[in-house]
Amino acid sequence: MNKFLRLLVVVLFVVYLAGCVRAGDVLKVGATPVPHAEILEFIKPILAEKGIKLKIVEFNDYVQPNLALAEGELDANYFQHIPYLTTFSKDHRLNLDYIAGVHIEPIGFYSQKINNIKDLRKGAVIAIPNDPTNEGRALLLLQAYGLIKLDPEAGLQATPLDIVENPFELKFHELEAAQLPRALPDVDGAIINTNYALSAGLVPLKDALILENSKSPYVNVLAVRKEDVNNPKLRILAEVLVSEEVKNFILEKYKGAVVPAPSLKSE
């Protein structure tokens, strides 16, 4: 009987260890629904073949995914571009980094009031994202099309206070990025991140009156805690996300509204 109990204990311990190993192969990755979660869904079978189970945790804002990652609730997140990650990490004193640049989502100007940017009236009200990096990005887009001129020293962190020339006397409403599509009926136009535009049923290449080009520096990345930059499983995830298979999926599914990023990895 004693031998039987000892054998049973050994068997149960082995089963327990096997369960721990399987649990360790699960990666929890935070993402906004479109296109990030869709891209992650696409790679689930690829990762499964490599022995990694991917659990996608969806978020609808730009704040919680980084906080959840820093607190260890996630293994990685995939929703943001490099300037946002850098600024957010600095402002919140988080030790986050990125290990792969995956795609670019050109930000665009949308309107329910006009069909051509040339029809923008004097004194028009424009809604823009209120987070520092995307606000600057929105203003730089308007500057690129000659609608405003910014103080060159403002750089990527420009705000409406940095506008030095405003020939159209544009007025700006600063809103959380996720709220911008819903604000369209109440403003003359809004500059909306592509992920939220797609979620709202907008087609960037068809509906945007002006659109950032593919040379944008705002590459969306796979973010991790700094101590995990060499984690083997996260490195496998990164390699899959920048694979030709994923690049082709992005090109075919999003038809240019989302474009694969140039080769980019953290040192």
How do residues 203-222 score in pLDDT, each as one tens digit? 999 999 999 976 788 999 99
- Domain 10-106+217-260 adopts which CATH fold? D-Maltodextrin-Binding Protein; domain 2 (3.40.190)
- The amino acid sitting at 213 is N
pTM equals 0.79
- Per residue in 145-204, pLDDT (tens digit) is 999 999 999 988 899 999 999 999 999 999 999 999 999 999 999 999 999 999 999 999
**Residues of each domain in the chain carrying CATH 3.40.190.10:** 10-106+217-260, 108-211
Distance CA 114, CA 12 (A): 68
- Domain 108-211 adopts which CATH fold? D-Maltodextrin-Binding Protein; domain 2 (3.40.190)
